[in-house]
Amino acid sequence: MYFKQILDERCGCASYLIASRETGEAAVVDPALVTAPYESVLRERGFRLRYAIDTHVHADHVSGARRLAAAHGAELCLHESATVRYAFRGLGDGEELALGRLRLRVLHTPGHRPELISLLVINLERADEPGLVLTGDSLLVGDVGRPDFGGGDAAAQYASVERLLGLPDWVAVFPGHFEGPCGAGMCGRPSSTVGFERRYNPLAGLARGAFVARLAESVPPRPLNIVAIEATNRGEADMPWAMPTGSRAVPEMETEELAGRATGVLVLDVREPEEYGRGHVPGAVNLPQADVATRLAELPRDRPLAIICQSGKRSLAAARFLAEVGFTQVTNVRGGTAGWAAAGRPLDGEVDEHQGVGTDRPRRARSDGRTPAA
């Protein structure tokens, strides 16, 4: 067996290339949009890609599965319940995909998403038992996948995690994330074992009610551009550019500089609406980071934009993305709304849900999903 874990430091995601050394058949699981790392291994090792598998419809990063499958004539695989607008091979619970004497056995583990699967990897040259499991965004190292991205269910997540923790202690756990917004309690390690997670994962010993309640507590904000990314992964839009790189430098300002801003600066608050409603910088308009890519047409390109969130982290990522797609007058507000309030400045608390961002009447983003012209 050949097994390689590939980590994406930009989004905290993990993908996997598994192959039979005997037959040269390979599978890639949860590939990133940039497929060069997989292409390199396939070429250098002389492997033939047979399966490109997504464990679920991703919402925090654009998948490269369709791109890989098309390039290599491989089967594109998801769970049979996946709701997408392109052809794929639907996998059922208990089904096995063969790679020589390797078997990838499907476990339907819904919760984070309804269609989420895990994959047991069995090397028949060594044993009939699985040696490792790819858990997607179900069981994470030190945490479990959050169920609030849309269609998720905390009770189903509890049952799926119990199923995974029922595997033998020795089974190695390789999740779809090692950091990022999918789970707030991930410890940062890219792998673990079932035995270790059963003993030390803080959610593993909880009763069903307590488990469900824990997942409802302190839900992190939705990731940047999640609306566009999920729509792209479903085949409902073609917006791979919505996947931020975070590589573009942007200027920053302190809250006192924001307080003395010149007329004409648009303050854009990228927090969730409920956060915005609890208090925001006077005059700021709300555009949650989850929606930025799909609402670019509402943003003016002829006036300065000051991007703000709670502390400055989300706004920095949003400002960098806006710079990536051509906005030239973007500044991040360091310290955010919390810094503004800590300096004794007033906050407004009224929400106008019908307020446009850059015009008197909101304009809709282009229906073709492409970046609006500057």
Residues classed as catalytic: 309
CA atoms within 13 A of residue 231's CA, in its CB half-sphere: 18
Residues 6+ positions from 260 with CB-CB distance below 8 Å: none
State how far the Cα of 319 lies from the Cα of 313, in Å rounded to an integer.
10
State how far the Cα of 76 lies from the Cα of 86, in Å rounded to an integer.
10
Q: Hey, how many other C-beta atoms are within 10 angstroms of the C-beta on 278?
A: 13
68, two tokens: 């890989």
Q: Distance from CA of residue 316 to its chain's centroid? A: 18
For the chain, the distance separating the N- and C-terminal CA atoms, rounded to the nearest angstrom, is: 50
Q: Distance from CA of residue 240 to its chain's centroid? A: 13
Residues 6+ positions from 137 with CB-CB distance below 8 Å: 55, 56, 112, 113, 116, 145, 175, 176, 177, 182, 183
245 burial type by CB count under 10 A (0-12 exposed, 13-18 middle, 19+ buried): exposed
